[in-house]
Amino acid sequence: MQHYTADALVLRVQEHGANDKLLTLISADGGRFVAMLKGGHSTKHREAAATEPYTWSNFEFYEKNGFKWVKSASALETFPGLRYDVEKLFLAAYFADIVYELSDERAPAGEILPLCLNALYLLSAKTGEDTRIKAAFELRAAVIAGFCPTVGACADCGRPISGDCYLDVMNGALVCEPCLSARTALSPLPEIGESGTRHILCPLTGSAAAALFYVAQAEAKRVFSFRLTDAQSLDLFARAGEAYLLHHLERGFPSLENYRRLCSFRR
Ligand SMILES: [Zn+2]
């Protein structure tokens, strides 16, 4: 029987039959895959912790009847801050869904896996940073998916962006305020374009645009290393990040709906 090991992030856990669990995992080299966890294992404390959703663990597998089974598992990083805060846990579920969406079976995971691990680490370790982490994760995920916005300068006049501007979500470009006024003076922007797609213009302050530029261009390890100090800029950056990712992935996520519902219920 062939045995092998891999470090993997637990994206999903589904009950399977009376006792077993079906784990959806992602590893750097192996990409996304599923493995079965035998019921008896869940009674072992060490393995129960290692196979919780959004845990980074070292797994030992064996193949049987063309299927992967977990032989043993030990947690490398449990992200403990997620386990005591339901809002963070719901956000982690959304991150995991994005990773699922942007990964393939048996193809190397690429940048989306370290991005998610960094996001989970910060979510677990920091308080009061969830909105910033979520928006940076969303924007960078869109970049990884191939939708890098052009954010250095205004798409219309080519001048560097310094103050208030708009993110033209459909076209992945920034437009400065005078140019947007010029555009709308020529012909009012229809909310639904000719192709049936919706025009989305997200207003941004200069600081929010600078954050967007930073996240799109930063070295993979440094994506979250920026600050947004004023509440308005943070709010606009967060709206733009979410709108940009969802528009380009052309879908919504029930996990995001759950997170939003929980946030509105708590505020
Ligand atoms: Zn302009």
% of the chain exceeding 90 in pLDDT: 78
- pLDDT over 80 (residue 185): no
> What are the chain's domains?
3-80 (2.40.50.140), 130-266 (1.20.1440)
Q: Give 229-255 pLDDT, tens digit per residue.
A: 899 999 999 999 999 999 999 999 999
Please, which pLDDT band fits residue 40 given cuts at 50, 70 and 90?
Answer: low
Cα angle vertex 175, ends 171, 178, to 5°? 150
If residue 98 lies in a helix (H) or strand (E), which one and from where to where?
Answer: helix 86-101
Q: What is the mean pLDDT of the chain?
A: 92
pLDDT digits (tens, 9 = 90+) for 50-76: 999 999 999 999 998 888 999 999 999
Residue pair 55/45 in contact (Cβ under 8 Å)? The answer is no
Question: Binning pLDDT at 50, 70 and 90, where does residue 198 land?
Answer: low
Ligand 1 centroid – CA 161 distance (Å) = 8
Q: Which residue shows structure tokens 């308080």?
A: 127
Average pLDDT over residues 33-51: 79
Cα of 182 to ligand 1 centre, how many Å? 9
Residue located via tokens 């103050």? 163
What's the gap in Å between 183 CA and the centre of ligand 1?
10
- Residue 267's pLDDT band (boundaries 50, 70, 90)? confident
Asked if the model's pLDDT at residue 174 lies above 60, the reply is yes
Give residue 234's identity as a one-letter amino acid code.
L
**At residue 197, does pLDDT exceed 90?**
no
d(CA 72, CA 192): 53
Lowest mean pLDDT among 40-44, 71-75, 226-230: 40-44
Q: Report pTM.
A: 0.93
Are 51 and 69 in contact by the 8 Å Cβ rule? The answer is no
More confident residue, 49 or 100: 100
Strand 150-154: give its sheet, edge to edge: 150-154, 173-176, 165-168, 201-204
What spacing in Å lies between the alpha carbon of 168 and ligand 1's midpoint? 12
Q: How far is the CA of 176 from the centre of ligand 1 (A)?
A: 4
Tell me the average pLDDT across 178-207.
77
Query: What's residue 190's pLDDT?
Result: 63
What is the pLDDT at residue 167? 95
Q: Kindly give, in sequence order, each residue whose CB lies less than 8 Å from that of residue 180, ignoring residues fewer than 6 positions away.
A: 165, 166, 201
**pLDDT at residue 266, rounded to an integer:** 79
* Mean pLDDT, rounded, for 137-153: 95
Taking the centre of ligand 1 as the mean of its atom positions, its distance from the CA of residue 188, in whole angstroms, is 17
Can you give the pLDDT at residue 39? 79
